[in-house]
Amino acid sequence: MAEGDSCWVVVLVGGVVGFIVVVVLNHFWPLLFKGKGGTVPKGSFGWPLLGETFSFLKPHSSNSVGAFLHDHCSRYGKVFKSHLFFSPTVVSCDPELNYFILQSEGKLFECSYPKPIHGILGKVSMLVAVGDTHKRLRNAALSLVTITKSKPEFLHDIEDIAIQILDSWKNKPQVIFCEEARKFTFNVIVKQVLGLTPQEPETSEILEDFLTFMRGLISLPLYIPGTPYARAVQARSRISSTVKAIVEKRRAGRRNNNNDDDDDDDNSKKNSDFLEILLSVDTLSEDEKVSFVLDSLLGGYETTSLLMCMVVHFLSHSPAALQQLKVINEALRYGNVVKFVHRKALKDVKYKGYLIPSGWKVLPVFTAVHLDSSLHANATQFHPWRWESQDPTCKKFTPFGGGSRCCPGSDLAKVEVAFFLHHLVQNFRWKTEGEDQPIAYPYVEFQRGLVLNVDPCSETTM
């Protein structure tokens, strides 16, 4: 080998070794952190760069905590340190600390979802926005939800959509329930937010783009044409254009209405949706309004349909509970639609002898609290009757999060599920085909889509 060539080899090898040393040091450096007035919780950092992320995300049944949390909690306690999502992290399975984290939003902790999610949702999404932007978007969401809930049309719409779907089952011996549940929650949310019925062409256009958008949320953030991530970013921009066109059409309709007062009856009925109210909100920019519509679709679609699937799945295994219909809270506790939320510490935080260093990621894990047998008797059993004596607003039950980012759609979700369930129970008997457990990936999924053998009741009430 010539002398010049060997020099290059030395430089190259030196560079690679240097890079590896920097990655390893950067990964383990936070372990040397010695804060004043407390100890960083015990734990392990796993592999350089990836840390313990893969073990943390390893799929498990959503009504169990999974091997990672089980092992770490037995080894280190309910609060431990780890290295997840490329960041030093404190994981909390402790109800008191979770409550403290959620209540201290914006002061000691802040919502902090992984960067790829920001790329797809956009900067002004309520799910990722912080500070004043978040406050403005959230105020709009709360007033919209309050107004919607008080409208009788809201309940009629839900009922009509539930009946349409159940009607379509009449001649089918079998349905894939997850698909039916998604159809239901999508049609409800699109009707509430944009005033669109399932028959309108924009509804299926938005659904198609929306599914691509959802697939991108759980993909590698590679913006290379053809990857799920790139397709999701493009789908988001197409949904934005569709929503903007609907907004424009609605504005034009409003202007015509103002010029023509005679046919208000018909129009006021058609225009009593989220969008109509959103148009008159002057605290949000055009982009924020579009983003707001997307957030509502995103928040209101998958989570609520999953809750429906959980309810139907657990009821199939617990026929006695069918008579009670006290199952929605229990399905939320036992099924765990949302396993954990993402936060980061804004400063060094001392809590009960622990020290959470500034800048570290903090993950309050709801599943661990919901399935903790020191907090819930027979925690690993589906037992809806517990809710006859237990207060659902307690710190040990947080399916919708808490504090200033608590889910604004929780009541809508429960009403939707209750209405659908009411009609389902009145009109059908069902059995699940084979074993299909809800699996936390951590986004929960029924692998086979929850296949149901359905049988219409002899006296139907639809």
User: Binding residues for ligand HEM, per CB under 6 A?
Assistant: 111, 126-127, 138, 141, 295-296, 299-300, 303-304, 307, 337-338, 341, 399-401, 405, 407-409, 412-413
CB of 169 or CB of 186, closer to ligand HEM: 186
Q: Could you tell me the smallest distance in angstroms from the CB atom of residue 395 to ligand HEM? A: 14
Q: Are 92 and 362 in contact (CB under 8 A)?
A: yes
Whose Cβ is closer to ligand HEM: residue 160's or residue 411's? 411
- CB 138 within 8 Å of CB 408: yes
Q: How far is the CB of 158 from ligand HEM (least distance, A)?
A: 11
Find where tokens 């010029």 sit.
259
Report in angstroms how near the CB of residue 241 gets to ligand HEM at its nearest: 21
Q: Minimum Å distance from CB 141 to ligand HEM? A: 6
Q: Which is nearer to ligand HEM, 247 or 297 (CB)?
A: 297
Minimum distance from residue 90 beta carbon to ligand HEM (Å): 16
- DSSP assignment of 221-262 equals ----TTSHHHHHHHHHHHHHHHHHHHHHHHHHHHHHHHH--T
CB-wise, 209 or 416, nearer to ligand HEM? 416
**Which lies closer to ligand HEM via its Cβ, residue 40 or residue 412?**
412
* Helix H or strand E encompassing 420: helix 410-427
Least Å distance between CB 147 and ligand HEM? 13
CB 145 within 8 A of CB 409: yes
**Strand ranges of the sheet holding 438-440, from the earlier edge strand across to the other edge:** 60-61, 438-440, 444-446
Instruction: Report DSSP state, residue 458.
Output: S
User: What is the spatial distance between Cα 182 and Cα 198, in angstroms, rounded to a whole number?
Assistant: 13
3-state SS, residue 83: strand
CB of 363 or CB of 379, closer to ligand HEM: 363
Judged by beta carbon, residue 87 or residue 303, the one nearer ligand HEM is 303
Kindly give the residue spans of alpha helices, DSSP state H, lying in 336-409.
366-370
CB of 409 to ligand HEM, least distance (A): 2
| 444: number of Cβ within 10 Å | 24
Q: Residue 160 — left, alpha, or beta (φ > 0 → left; ψ -120 to 50 → alpha)?
A: alpha
39 and 355 in contact (C-beta within 8 Å)?
Answer: yes
At its nearest, how many Å lie between ligand HEM and the CB of residue 305?
A: 9
Would you say 178 is a known binding-site residue?
no
Which of 40, 93 has the CB closer to ligand HEM? 93
Query: How many CB atoms neighbour CB 374 within 10 A?
Result: 9
Q: How many CA atoms lie within 13 A of 207 on its CB side?
A: 20
Q: In this structure, what is the dihedral angle of CA atoms 132, 133, 136, 140, given to the nearest 10 degrees?
A: -160
| Rounded Cα distance, 415 and 410, in Å | 9
Q: Which residues are annotated as a binding site?
A: 407
Q: Which residues are annotated as a binding site for heme?
A: 407
